[in-house]
A and B are shown apart, each in its own frame.
Chain A
Amino acid sequence: MNHYLWPALLILISVVVGLIRILRGPTPADRMLAAQLFGTGGVAILLILAQAMQMPSLVDVALIYALLAAVTMVVFVRRQWGNHENERKMKDESL
């Protein structure tokens, strides 16, 4: 077994442990934070794997991962969790 794979495995374990927050989180934002943890940890794992397995294309995959993590969070806050005021306004108008 390639000895660069051990750090990747340890980081993967820490990310999986962090996913317990998805089960417990009181608000949807706490659950999304666990998803963001998976984004950062996934980028780190992919970079280590690119080094360990001599596959430079995995660096591009990590770049896509990093860009998508930003989009995910912005979409979540804008469309799902952030428009508290808008919901109330729409309810008032419909009444």
Chain B
Amino acid sequence: MSLFDLLGTFMLLSAIPFFWGGSLGLLRFPDIYTRLHALTKADNLGLGLVVAGSILMSKEWTVAVKLLLIWLAVLVASTISCYLIANAARKRRINPWKIP
């Protein structure tokens, strides 16, 4: 097992806590604006770690470029959908959560 494989495995393993944090945030946060944070930040960082680990373990550079493009596509998608949903919720007059 080479050094790159070891580093890649470490990155794959370190992605798992971010995915668990995203799911936990989706379940525990009080309203839709805070739940957007859990999805669009924690999960994308976890996916970024998975992509970085896969790039370290990939043998050809074309595969590495494709993996980077996938991550960029997911980042753009989550940014756009986060804005759209927050804007639609604001237009429906859903009030942000306040400390009771």
Q: Point out residues on A near B: beta carbons under 8 Å.
A: 4, 7, 10-11, 14-15, 17-18, 20-21, 27, 29-30, 32-34, 36-37, 39-41, 43-44, 47-48, 50-51, 56, 59, 62-63, 66-67, 69-70, 73-74, 77-78, 81-82, 84-85
Contacts and interface: CB of A to CB of B under 8 A. Distances in A.
A37 B51 contact: no
Interface in B43-76: 43-44, 46-47, 50-51, 54, 57-58, 63, 66-67, 69-70, 73-74, 76
Contacts of A30: 32, 35
Given A7-B12, A40-B78, A66 B73 contact: yes
B3 interface: no
A23 B23 CA distance: 14
B74 A77 contact: no
The prevalent SS among residues of B at the interface is helix
B77 A66 contact: yes
A51 to B, nearest CB: 5
Most buried by B among A14, A32, A41, A67: A14
A10 B21 CA distance: 12
A29 B88 contact: yes
20 contacts: A11-B15, A14-B16, A15-B23, A21-B27, A27-B32, A29-B32, A33-B39, A36-B78, A39-B77, A44-B15, A47-B54, A51-B54, A62-B70, A63-B73, A67-B73, A69-B74, A69-B77, A70-B80, A77-B85, A82-B91
